[in-house]
Structure 1
Amino acid sequence: MTQAYTPFADDSYAGRTVLITGAASGMGLETARAFAAKGAEVVMADRDEAGLERYGSELRKGGAKIHTVKVDVSNPESIAEAFAYCDAHLARLDNVVTCAAIITAKRLFEQDWAHWQRVLNVNLLGTFFTVQAGVKRMLENPAGGNIVCVASDAGVHGGGGLIADTAYAASKAATLSLVKSVARELAGKKVRINALNPGPTDSPMHAHIDPSLKERIAANLPVRRMGRPEDMAAAILFLCSDAASFVYGAALDVDGGSMFR
């Protein structure tokens, strides 16, 4: 994959730290690679221990400062343990990126209570308690910090059951509201929080989409291709950078033009 993070100097994140959830694959993994390439000390957090071991080792061999920690964001105790690891191993926590999520594509009458609980526990509650723990530490950091929550274009225009369903779309819409709510509460502090709205992205999370449907989706996008995980990683890198110091409580659409607003 092409690693084109040209707007930033090679050492632009040197001396800074980041915790990334969902870092063992897809967007989270590319985000870890992006931060590592710019000199950051990275904590890769995921429930996939094998993926963490594989890619963590790969990045360390390239000279990156990488930590790996198992986390299940649907379990608040597991989130607390991940942040306890950060407290013990990092001088401070500068950035948090919440990539951990599940995508589901069930029709209306296929969705039961257990389905909604599972989606909301991971996508919404997991995001909230990760943000809460990150903010707590950043408020104690004289330099403040940055948080990016990955939402979705489905959180704006809805699901429908073909690619993403009602539960998924609702969880991402709630994530957008979460970001704005936290931003209002943190006004005047040195902690920034923003959301990222990825459009259709060709990543492991979208493995359930039929290849022919992916082709049709790409053909209907103004840029004529689906997004790539590294597209999202580059945008996240920007949102956490000094270049985005005036971007606050916003939702950045990185969607190939899927929803002009």
Structure 2
Amino acid sequence: MKDAATMSGTYATFSDDSFAGRSVLITGAASGMGLETARAFASKGAEVVMADRDEAGLKRYGAELRSGGAAVHTVTVDVSDQESIDKAFDYCDANLARLDNVVTCAAIITAKRIFEQDRAHWHRVLDVNLLGTFFVVQGAVKRMLDNPDGGNIVCIASDAGVHGGGGLIADTAYAASKAGTLSMVKSVARELAGKKIRINALNPGPTDSPMHSHIDQSLKDRIAGNLPMRRMGRPEDMAAAIMFLCSDAASFTYGAALDVDGGSMFR
């Protein structure tokens, strides 16, 4: 278990009150990158809404963060279900003074070869990774348009959305869903120009997190050896970059895709 003091030290670049008085909704917050992002924001004073379909994980980690003094809410959401998304935003409307930041970490990763992917597979991946992300963004924009200071949205894409999948780590459906996320972020950014709402994407490289539990250690070692940084990414690497994109330090970063990938993009 990580307490608030430990987390504060981990993200020492940000002062302990960097996000005091601000709120953040994080989907996929019961594990991996989403959980680490919730911990990071909580350690810097944010009011955090952890959203996930894993009720047990929400209960466990929500209690962990509250025990350290953080202001944390938990709400069950399945981003492939529009009604579930709507209920999550209804919860935010009822329990937050305003919604300042939204981070879309909810996703599934799949690694099937081309002839193993049927329509049901593609629908499942796109429903969660692309459509789910879009409708969370849509709900965020609706609230942020009423905020005098706008808001920040960070959508988690992937380096696979740029250079493809291949079936070993991530497959075609996953890569296409993340390429769609990158295009969606740019499209929404164009539409929101001048509205005080910043939307950006994060492109994580291979990250050692529960999402990559389908990769055995020997393959992880091979991946790490092929990266210029000679290691896989960690959830902490991604959480720090997400906080940057939501911070005042990124006030002129708009419609961008930040690569946090250990150099995988230029291998």
Report if TM-score (shorter chain) is over 0.5: yes
Letter matched to residue 200 of structure 1: P
Q: Which runs of 4+ in 1 moved over 6 A?
A: none
Residues 111-160 of structure 1, C-alpha deviation per residue, up to 9 Å, x if partnerless? Answer: 00000000000000000000000001000000100000000000000000
Task: Select which of 148, 171, 175 maps to 2:177.
Answer: 171
Letter matched to residue 246 of structure 1: F
Letter matched to residue 173 of structure 2: A
Task: Select which of 20, 23, 29 maps to 1:23.
Answer: 29
Give secondary structure in 2 for the equivalent of 1:259: helix
Counterpart Cα distance in 2 of 1:7 and 1:250: 22
2:138 matches 1:132: yes
Residues 203-247 of structure 1, C-alpha deviation per residue, up to 9 Å, x if partnerless? Answer: 000000011000010011111100000100000000000000000
**What residue number does 2:221 align with?**
215
**What residue number does 1:78 align with?**
84
Q: Output aligned runs, 1:165-244, within 5 Å.
A: 165-244=171-250
**What residue number does 1:107 align with?**
113
Identity of aligned residues (%): 84
Task: Select which of 256, 260, 264 maps to 1:258.
Answer: 264
Task: Select which of 226, 244, 252 maps to 1:246.
Answer: 252
Counterpart Cα distance in 1 of 2:82 and 2:13: 36
Query: Could you list the runs of 5+ residues in structure 2 that have no partner in the other structure?
Result: none
Tell me by how many angstroms 1:75 deviates. Answer: 0.2
Letter matched to residue 223 of structure 2: I
2:109 matches 1:65: no
Task: Select which of 25, 36, 46 maps to 2:42.
Answer: 36
Give secondary structure in 2 for the equivalent of 1:256: coil
Tell me by how many angstroms 1:8 deviates. Answer: 1.0
Counterpart Cα distance in 2 of 1:259 and 1:38: 31
How many matched pairs?
Answer: 261
Counterpart Cα distance in 2 of 1:61 and 1:26: 20
Letter matched to residue 53 of structure 1: K
**What residue number does 2:57 align with?**
51
Task: Select which of 107, 119, 122 maps to 1:116.
Answer: 122
Counterpart Cα distance in 1 of 2:238 and 2:35: 11
Query: Could you list the runs of 5+ residues in structure 1 that have no partner in the other structure?
Result: none
Q: Output aligned runs, 1:147-158, within 5 Å.
A: 147-158=153-164
Counterpart Cα distance in 2 of 1:91 and 1:255: 35
CA RMSD of aligned residues (A): 1.0
Counterpart Cα distance in 2 of 1:102 and 1:231: 20
**What residue number does 1:91 align with?**
97
Scaled by the length of structure 1, the TM-score of the pair is: 0.99
Letter matched to residue 162 of structure 1: L
